[in-house]
């Protein structure tokens, strides 16, 4: 969990990289669990022998698995706004799966706060430019514009 900062300090971070998560290994067990949850058992994800015969050379993580890690990575990398009642995922304006994630790759999230706006009483919307880096790779695994909504007590917004 990251530090808490007040809303004014958080708003001064617009345009800056505000955090980088730790590395996370994407092993076959995680890929298989994701396949089971989403019912996406395409062989390039879950069949190591068959996937080894593809240009990937091994199984690869689902793009949606990589995208789903943004939330957990943000818990480490993004400060929370002091007094916030909750922050919710509001969606994405852009998502690109830039390069495949072979099994046993290590990923981390890099977060830039690109926009912050107050939306009525007790609501603050944020936009983050998120890059999911793959250790040792020239290109990132994914890039996204991620939107979140923080709810504050009405007196603090």
Beta bridge partners of 110: 20, 131
What pLDDT score does 107 carry?
98
> Could you tell me if residue 44 is inside a domain?
no
Low-confidence ranges of the chain (pLDDT < 50): 157
**What pLDDT shows up at residue 100?**
98
Total number of domains in the chain: 1
Q: Residue 110 falls within a domain, yes or no?
A: yes
Q: What pLDDT, on the 0 to 100 scale, is given for residue 154?
A: 81
Residue numbers of the domain that contains 80: 4-26+61-156
Look at residue 21 and tell me if it is in a domain. yes
The pLDDT assigned to 155 comes to 66
pLDDT at 157: 47
Query: Which residues contact residue 103 at a Cβ distance below 8 angstroms, ignoring those fewer than 6 apart?
Result: 26, 27, 28, 31, 48, 58, 59, 60, 61
Q: Using one digit for the tens of pLDDT, what is the confidence trace for 24-51? A: 999 999 999 999 999 999 999 999 999 9
Q: What is the pLDDT of residue 106?
A: 98
Per the CB < 8 A criterion, the answer to whether 60 and 102 are in contact is yes
The answer to whether residue 55 sits within a structural domain is no
CATH of the domain at 108: 3.10.129.10
Q: Is residue 48 situated within a structural domain?
A: no
């Amino acid at each position: 969990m990251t530090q808490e900062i007040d809303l004014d300090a958080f708003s001064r971070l617009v345009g800056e990289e505000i955090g980088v998560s730790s590395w996370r290994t994407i092993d076959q067990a995680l890929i298989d669990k994701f396949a089971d949850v989403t019912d996406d058992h395409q062989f390039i994800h879950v069949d190591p022998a068959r996937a080894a015969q593809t240009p990937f050379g091994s199984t690869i993580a689902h793009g949606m698995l990589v995208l789903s890690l943004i939330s957990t990575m943000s818990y480490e990398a993004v400060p929370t706004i002091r007094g916030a009642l909750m922050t919710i995922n509001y969606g994405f304006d852009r998502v690109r799966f830039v390069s495949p994630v072979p099994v046993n790759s290590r990923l981390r999230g890099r977060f830039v706060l690109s926009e912050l706006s107050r939306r009525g009483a007790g609501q603050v919307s944020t936009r983050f430019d998120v890059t999911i880096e793959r250790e040792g790779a020239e290109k990132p695994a994914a890039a996204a514009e991620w939107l979140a909504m923080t709810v504050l007590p009405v007196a603090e917004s």
